[in-house]
Structure formats: C-alpha cells, structure tokens
Amino acid sequence: MNKIATLFIKNNHVTPAYCDYIANLIQPAIKFQDSRENNLIASVGKIQIDLDKNGVFQSTKKTIRVEDVFGKVYQVTIEEVIEGM
C-alpha cells in the first residue's frame, strides 16, 4: 500500500480529511475579522496545497501565508493529525 493511501484508511474504512473545507473557512475569516477589529493584516495568501517539486500531490495539508502591516510573514497550516503513526 502506498504512503498516500494510508493517510485515508483507518480501521479498514476510508475516512475523509476536511483540510480543504477548514482552510476555506479560515482564509476569509482572517480577512474579515481583522478588517472589523484592528487592521493589522496586510495580506492573506491563497490556500496552497502540499505538492512536491514535480507538482505531485503529497498530503491533504493546506497552508495559508499571512503578512502583517509590519512585514512579518506567518504561515497557517491545516493538517490532518494521524494518531498512532
């Protein structure tokens, strides 16, 4: 069994990972909440998928880059936690 397939199998059942869904909730929420409160966020990047250097899918992990008004960059990571591995 390849490594990617094991990410989705638990107790012989395929279990979905909701990283895309969660990332799509978080990204606009950062923009919206900051605009209502402090305006300390300069930019919120696109949701990035986990690919290797050849563009091959690696995992369900998603990342979002966020930059504050002082130029400091942060990375928000949404990643499935696989217990016992």
DSSP symbol at 32: H
- pTM tops 0.95, yes or no: no
Distance CA 15, CA 4 (A): 13
User: Mean pLDDT over residues 28-34, rounded?
Assistant: 91
DSSP symbol at 63: E
- Per-residue confidence (pLDDT) for residue 14, from 0 to 100: 62
Token readout for 53 is 């250097």
Domain for residue 83, yes or no? no
**The total number of structural domains that make up the chain:** 1
Torsion angles phi and psi, residue 76, rounded to 5 = -95, 125
Question: The domain containing residue 27 runs over which residues?
Answer: 18-78
Domain for residue 3, yes or no? no
Domain for residue 59, yes or no? yes
What 3-state DSSP class applies to 62? strand
User: Mean pLDDT over residues 9-35, rounded?
Assistant: 82
- Per-residue confidence (pLDDT) for residue 36, from 0 to 100: 85
- Per-residue confidence (pLDDT) for residue 28, from 0 to 100: 94
